[in-house]
Structure 1
């Protein structure tokens, strides 16, 4: 009942500021039309994004067996791909006390920063390739890279081994999975895109729940240990990625005359530029707790098992943050939902983590709240980007945004390690730094929304 009333409240100001026709409502939902009204360059810019005139989009299925099988395939692919991303704290905590015990936190952090950087940066070409050729061969290459990386990861002993195998090979493989899985869902849903994308991206949360529990059990088994623990996880990834290869497909025909090269001209669209900055700051902040929550728990004197479980708690919160807000975003708007989630992250950092994170109840509550907020950000951000472009160019827009965001992923964890080292192992400065990044991201999400619909804070967008 409260949800319905809130949705009605948010919809009322929009209705009074726009024409009552259905075509006007479509313009509110289709940001390229809005940007045309506010930016005279938008019409010229839109033509430069594609080598051929844009055609009216065919009706979206909004469901049906094929559409939901695509969601299932994307869920399985992101279970393996994002599951690895959501488990880097476990890997970092383990190798920092075993194989690479003589290396600093900052040095080890570069392994996982390189992974996240490539996982997003390579999309600058993968997105346009998806728009032109579809997802099948991209996912096939991703399966080979990710599974091979897991098998080689199990025998790594030297620093450069981890850099090449986990950082380069695994990062490239995951990049081949992310864009096709998420963009394919957008081909089948428009009105329910937030909900469908939330379900698909929830696979990453489930992977982040299963992997720490599974790996902790395997690592502690004397007959298995690290080597076979990683290999068994690799076989799990193989099975899941096979499902993605079978079921994920695109709906729109290949764009034979489209370019596979990135187009920086799309940054001339102010809503897209501001959204990219907001996502950059948000991901910069988000990967700090993802990368350091387990190490933080151990620094507070908690056991190694608890440090693994706290990551599981965070990913459990992320599951609910991906699915439920996806449904709600279809009603109050993707940008509104992302802004609320970012504000919740600010509260989590300054009200929970900073004063109470050293206690077991405090860190559990923080992990839950930041998981919910972060899960919302991860699942709703692709929906925000889809509001800024035609569906047939979504892969290009998504990949262009995250190629910039990848820089935050590259520097975030090492900078976090440097801050910890500068404070003699204390985490208070890292927590404040994370909170400030979220504040800046919150402001930029508001600016991005205002660039499309003006400063109408209650407008559904």
Structure 2
């Protein structure tokens, strides 16, 4: 199978799509205090907005993948961008917190689901040898969006009321998002050889029945709390050590820097060492990074943890779609990626909440770090079982 020249256009279109949707997702932090003040809400109540959005886009990613396999990524991603813009616009007119839950948590989350899975899955069928590199370059849009968009939104909220800033954000999503989505294309059947000219690989139902997918899914479930807890609690941990607010918040930015480096560069290693073998190493790396957090007594080690964790986390996420293509083929790749991502839904929703409850009970994060490291090691073992059980055939 020859790699398609247009495949790199799809890579960079996907880069922009992911930068937009995750830039919007993590811009929630910029609106956090405005929501709390506007609706006289406790911080815990406001935090559920972010958790609900993540839960929706991970769970509904399967539907997004199924629709993309049927109608193509361009159509589904365009719909997703429109839903996100509508959700942001509706949130800007919300008069109560429950309306924000519905408009931002559900509608924006659904829009992300219809962009995330279809766009990232559209990259894999156009590549063979450099599939890991292509997936890493495309998924690095997540890191770029995390670094750039929330900062710009926070700067806008100063001169503008938050509702007006959100309307401008909705307009940018609609214009830039639809432009990027229009550049997506499903690889032609001729580039996905199979019997009778059909795309090669397993159907979603056949994939779900394989031991390889079951181990893969279990690894995703186990790793998801490990991935999301630092985004919610690393800054709070830094404040407990006496760091000021700006330095504490900058640690999340360092996770984004590490993630961007990991997503952009890990494909080169994965294409040489093997993508499944690299996933095992990165799961182990993410688990071990928690030892640095546990030992940290100041900014230097916390910064080292943020970079190390971000690199590991970004590498893992960039490898997942390529591995779906490797093991299960192009026939239903978007649906398979969506089904796999659903394993992260509960971890995204409950991991940070349970970590906060553990801190409230004990007054420190040591138990959280120990459990997270243990879950990371279990994710490493289940990823190794996936490697031993399955064989990359596509």
**Shift in alpha-carbon separation, 1:287–1:299, aligned structure 2, 3 A:** same
* Aligned counterpart in structure 2 of residue 369 of structure 1, from 289, 308, 321: 308
TM-score normalised per structure 2: 0.88
- 1:104 deviates by 5.0
* 1:233 to 2:233 alignment: no
The equivalent residue for 1:30 is none
Paired with 1:80 and 1:309, the residues of 2 have a C-alpha distance of 21
1:134 aligns with 2:72: yes
Q: Which runs of 5+ in 2 are unaligned?
A: 193-197
Instruction: Measure how far apart 1:332 and its partner are.
Output: 0.8
Which residue, out of 271, 281, 290, partners 2:212?
271
Q: Is the 8 A contact 2:78 2:182 kept in 1?
A: no
Are 1:74 and 2:14 counterparts?
yes
Match of 1:324 in 2: 265
| Superposed displacement of residue 90, structure 1 | 5.1
Alignment check: 8 A CA contact 1:87 1:211 kept? yes
Q: Deviations over 1:201-221 (max 9, x none)?
A: 1111000111232233233x2
Q: 1:308 to 1:429 in 2, by over 3 A?
A: same
Q: Which runs of 5+ in 1 are unaligned?
A: 1-58, 454-458
What does the per-residue CA deviation read over 1:188-244, in whole Å, with 9 as the maximum and x for residues that have no partner? 11211111111111111000111232233233x2x3253344334333333431232
State the Cα deviation string for residues 7-54 of structure 1 (Å, max 9, x = none): xxxxxxxxxxxxxxxxxxxxxxxxxxxxxxxxxxxxxxxxxxxxxxxx
Native 8 Å contact 1:86 1:204 kept in 2: no
Residue of structure 2 in register with 1:303 after alignment: 244
Corresponding residue for 2:125?
187
* Pair member with larger Rg: 1
Partner Cα separation in structure 2 for residue 117 and residue 182 of structure 1:
18
Q: Is the 8 A contact 1:89 1:291 kept in 2?
A: no
User: Aligned to 1:407, which of 343, 346, 349?
Assistant: 346
2:220–2:343 contact (8 Å) kept in structure 1: no
Higher helix residue share: 2
Q: Which residue of 2 aligns with 1:19?
A: none
- What is the number of equivalent residue pairs in this alignment? 384
* Match of residue 124, structure 1, among 62, 67, 73: 62
Q: Write out per-residue CA displacement over residues 299-341 of structure 1, whole angstroms, 9 at most, x where no aligned residue.
A: 4443333343222221011111001101211111111111111
Alpha-carbon deviation of 1:89? 5.1
1:244 aligns to what? Answer: 180
Q: Structure 1's 163 and 413: CA in aligned 2 closer, same or farther, altered over 3 A?
A: farther
8 Å CA contact 1:78–1:178 kept in 2: the answer is yes
The within-5 A match list for 1:374-413 is 374-413=313-352
Structure 1 residues 91-140: Cα deviation after superposition (integer angstroms, max 9, x where no partner): 55x468644665253x4443222111111211222212211221122112
User: Would the alpha carbon gap of residues 236 and 181 (structure 1) be closer, same or farther in structure 2, given more than 3 Å must change?
Assistant: same
Secondary structure of 2:122's aligned partner: helix
